[in-house]
Amino acid sequence: MVRFEQKKKVSQNTVHIIFCAVMYALLALFIVGLSVFNANYTTIYSSPKVHGGEVDFENVDLPSRDVACNLAGEWEFFYDQWIVTDGCDGSPDGMISLPDLWTYKDFGNGSLPKTGFASYRLYAKNVQPDINVTVYRHYSNFAYRVFINGELNYRSGEISKDVNGTVVTGSTDERHPYKTDGSPLEIVIELSATRTGGFNAAPWLAASSTGNVYGTNLRASNYIAIGITTAAVVTSILTYVFFRYRRDITVPAFMLALYAHFLSSRDMLYVFRLQITTAMILSFLSAIVAFVLLMLHFRRSGAPLKRIPIIAVSSVAAVLTALLFAFYGTPIAPVSAFMVFAIGCSFLVPIVFNRRFAAIQRVVYGTLFMFLMSVFCFELCDALGLLVFGTEFIFTFELMAIIICFAILWLWKMAKAAHNAIRVSELECELSAVKSQALRAQIKPHFVYNSLTAIQSRYRDGLSEGDRAIEQFAKHLRLITDHGSEDIISFEDEVRNVLNYFELENLRANGKLHLYLDLSETDFSVPVLSLQPLIENAIRHGELRNRQEGYIQLSSEKTERAIMITVSDNGKGFDVKAVHAGVGIENTRKRFELIGAEMKIESEQNCGTRVTIEIPLE
């Protein structure tokens, strides 16, 4: 008699859910912290408040500061005017709070377009006398110049009223510190023609002794970062070319896309002389491509991702990116950008729940993924002008660190694959020998003799009973023959083999034996004809034919780390330490070891035997 009992699956994903919740919470905390820090930046660094086009530096000791004063706040705004260069002395069009854009703002003459040039003016009073000061924005994405009391103080890029003549360098092209005398300072920023809707940056005012915003010159570090990152990417590509692990090109392609994003990031503008619009397009497109390639890689690795949803999500992200550039400078742009960001964050779940990865890989990949998302969020805020404080070199070093980490993970995976390939080569000959022994052990003369005797007795009971016994015996021989050239078969096929064999054995017991199947997991593979010796051993050595209601139970279940197969019986049992396993059991044990599984035998006299096989999910 065969009885099926379906075990109810119990969720094993609690740890993964907690990990994802922690990652999302940390990201939310990062965004909130970023917003709070941004809103209170001037207070934190004791910078004077800018309001109504004025700023008061009373009790501010500029030479002693390690960080320059940020001039975020309301500036007087003049659209399509260079008030110093052209000598304009009219009233401003209105006030603009830097960082912000003029796009679609209406100062009484209609909404302003994205294009044009402009001037920004601010009056600073109570600045210490007899010090040299400079107003600037480090590695700005714009071409502009600064005047203090009509004297050129700072210039970055080539200035023009024609957008085609504007050249953004992102670096300092001219710097002429202004020596104060205690009188108020008229600070004017003249912005070159742009297509991005204005100067969405908050400039700095610093004494010459302060130097850069962070008190040190880190300009050369970008070149160092480029060199290190390039080496990491090239190494990953060469590793793929020489090893071609599973011919999975998605990882080196992902590295290239991430590298393109790195090269188009804000800190690299002055190195490659990219215009801000061009850099932003390259940056966002490369980010989208990187995400698509990363998801394809996880899909190839067994993550629960389908090709159509990936294409659909990528298309939505592309549309949202197009809206971002179409409405840059308007409230729609941040909404569109953060929707793209939210789509990216949604991929954390399939990464962490990908059981094809080891637990440590899931943690590392999940952590790096969310760290990458935080970098994108940070970069996004800065590109949209949502940050007051400077972010020089943050993107450079964070993206460099992420690229290097992914390169190390890729090299580790290649090394592991090479090690496994060597191990497979060493085991190939051994596998053939063990397989031959195992298959020969399946057909034993005494089994054939006993089966034929049982069939003969069945014919005495009736022709139909004898024919049924012959059919079962022929099926068993056919199964052995059909699977003679296979090493691995599905668990479901192996269960069918077991059922057919059990029916043959039950002929001799006149139907007294019982086999219970308790299978909650069947989607995996096992060595061919590997479970039959366990059933045979339970019947023969457990002496189940002599027991009232003798039974065997075959069960399977999936745990957090492995698939568990259990074969148990209520036979007479034996002393595991005193009895040596036979040839069939040893062959079975070794064949499972060849696929990385472990087999354990537990038995107690008069209490039955239990064989447990643990197959790792990897």
User: What per-residue confidence (pLDDT) applies to 429?
Assistant: 62
Tell me how far apart the alpha carbons of residues 198 and 117 are, in angstroms, rounded to a whole number: 8
Helix spans in 125-275 (H): 221-243, 250-263, 269-272
CATH number of the structural domain spanning residue 601: 3.30.565.10
Q: Please compute Rg for the chain using Cα positions.
A: 37
Q: Is residue 564 packed enough to be buried (19+ CB in 10 Å), middle (13-18) or exposed (0-12)?
A: middle
Residue whose pair of structure tokens reads 């002389």 in the numeric block = 273
Tell me how far apart the alpha carbons of residues 158 and 169 are, in angstroms, rounded to a whole number: 8
290 and 165: one domain? no
408 and 556: one domain? no
More confident residue, 173 or 381: 173
374 and 227: one domain? yes
Taking residues 208-221, report their average pLDDT: 49
471 and 539: one domain? yes
Are 504 and 450 spatial neighbours (Cβ–Cβ below 8 Å)? no
Weakest-pLDDT range from 451-460, 596-605, 609-618: 451-460
With respect to residue 153, please indicate whether it lies within any of the assigned structural domains: yes
329 and 267: one domain? yes
Taking residues 373-400, report their average pLDDT: 70
232 and 314: one domain? yes
29 and 62: one domain? no
Q: What is the pLDDT of residues 483-535, one digit of tens each?
A: 656 678 889 988 988 888 888 777 777 778 888 999 998 889 888 878 888 88
Q: What is the pLDDT of residues 231-285, one digit of tens each?
A: 878 877 777 777 655 566 777 888 888 888 877 766 665 556 556 666 667 777 8
Are 190 and 85 spatial neighbours (Cβ–Cβ below 8 Å)? yes
Boundary-marking domain end, from 187, 207, 227: 207
339 and 476: one domain? no
In 3D space, the residue among 141, 174, 75 whose CA is nearest the CA of residue 281 turns out to be 141
Binned at pLDDT 50, 70 and 90, residue 198 comes out as confident
Binned at pLDDT 50, 70 and 90, residue 216 comes out as very low
Tell me how far apart the alpha carbons of residues 476 and 315 are, in angstroms, rounded to a whole number: 54
Are 153 and 205 spatial neighbours (Cβ–Cβ below 8 Å)? no
For residue 354, CA distances in Å to 11, 399, 566 come to 15, 25, 26
- The share of the chain scoring above pLDDT 90, in percent, equals 15
User: What per-residue confidence (pLDDT) applies to 6?
Assistant: 47
Annotate 391-405 with b (16+ C-beta within 10 A) or e (fewer).
Answer: bbbbbbbbbbbbbbb
**Cis? peptide before 527, omega within 30° of 0:** no
Q: What is the pLDDT of residues 46-82, one digit of tens each?
A: 889 999 999 999 988 888 887 788 898 999 999 999 9
User: Tell me, what amino acid is at 454?
Assistant: A
Q: Which domain holds residue 127?
A: 47-207
Report phi then psi at 275, rounded to 5. -70, 150
Please count the residues of the chain.
618
With respect to residue 234, please indicate whether it lies within any of the assigned structural domains: yes
User: What per-residue confidence (pLDDT) applies to 324?
Assistant: 75
Residue whose pair of structure tokens reads 């690795």 in the numeric block = 301
Taking residues 178-198, report their average pLDDT: 91
Q: Using CA atoms in the order 268, 97, 178, 80, what is the torsion angle rounded to 10 degrees? A: 80
User: What per-residue confidence (pLDDT) applies to 149?
Assistant: 94
Binned at pLDDT 50, 70 and 90, residue 468 comes out as confident
With respect to residue 448, please indicate whether it lies within any of the assigned structural domains: no
More confident residue, 215 or 469: 469
Tell me how far apart the alpha carbons of residues 526 and 517 are, in angstroms, rounded to a whole number: 17
Tokens of 324: 């971002």
405 and 473: one domain? no
275 and 184: one domain? no
Relative to beta strand 116-125, strand 94-98 is: unpaired
Upper half-sphere CA count for residue 443 (Cβ side, 13 Å):
13
With respect to residue 570, please indicate whether it lies within any of the assigned structural domains: yes
With respect to residue 426, please indicate whether it lies within any of the assigned structural domains: no
User: What per-residue confidence (pLDDT) applies to 191?
Assistant: 94
For residue 289, CA distances in Å to 147, 259, 261, 498 come to 42, 11, 10, 50
Give the list of residues 6+ apart from residue 467 with CB closer than 8 angstroms, or none.
none
Crossing angle, helix 276-300 and helix 332-345, to 10 degrees? 20
More confident residue, 579 or 613: 613
Residue whose pair of structure tokens reads 């035997």 in the numeric block = 609
Boundary-marking domain end, from 179, 207, 235: 207
With respect to residue 289, please indicate whether it lies within any of the assigned structural domains: yes
Number of domains in the chain: 3
For the cut 70, the answer to whether the pLDDT of residue 473 exceeds it is: yes
With respect to residue 453, please indicate whether it lies within any of the assigned structural domains: no
Annotate 116-145 with b (16+ C-beta within 10 A) or e (fewer).
Answer: bbbbbbbebeebeeebbbbbbbbbbbbbbb
For the cut 60, the answer to whether the pLDDT of residue 453 exceeds it is: yes
More confident residue, 418 or 24: 24
Weakest-pLDDT range from 292-296, 412-416, 594-598: 412-416
Q: What is the pLDDT of residues 390-449, one digit of tens each?
A: 555 566 677 777 788 777 777 777 777 777 777 777 777 666 656 655 555 555 565 677
Question: In the sheet where 132-136 sits, what is the strand order?
Answer: 69-70, 204-207, 132-136, 178-179
- Our measurement of the distance from residue 212's CA atom to the centroid of its chain's CA atoms, rounded to an integer in Å, reads 35
- The share of the chain scoring above pLDDT 70, in percent, equals 81
Tell me how far apart the alpha carbons of residues 78 and 96 are, in angstroms, rounded to a whole number: 10
Give the list of residues 6+ apart from residue 164 with CB closer than 8 angstroms, or none.
none
Binned at pLDDT 50, 70 and 90, residue 167 comes out as confident
Mean of the per-residue pLDDT values of the chain: 78
Q: What is the pLDDT of residues 113-161, one digit of tens each?
A: 888 999 999 999 999 998 999 998 765 678 899 999 999 999 988 899 9
In 3D space, the residue among 399, 370, 374, 377 whose CA is nearest the CA of residue 19 turns out to be 370
499 and 583: one domain? yes
Residue 9: DSSP 8-state: P
Are 529 and 494 spatial neighbours (Cβ–Cβ below 8 Å)? yes
With respect to residue 1, please indicate whether it lies within any of the assigned structural domains: no
Which pTM was predicted?
0.57
First to last CA, the chain: 35
Tell me how far apart the alpha carbons of residues 170 and 273 are, in angstroms, rounded to a whole number: 7
For the cut 90, the answer to whether the pLDDT of residue 99 exceeds it is: no
User: What per-residue confidence (pLDDT) applies to 85?
Assistant: 93
25 and 164: one domain? no
Taking residues 551-563, report their average pLDDT: 89
A 10 A CB-CB count for 40 gives: 11
Boundary-marking domain end, from 147, 175, 207: 207
Residue whose pair of structure tokens reads 């643990």 in the numeric block = 614
Q: What is the pLDDT of residues 307-327, one digit of tens each?
A: 777 778 778 878 887 787 777
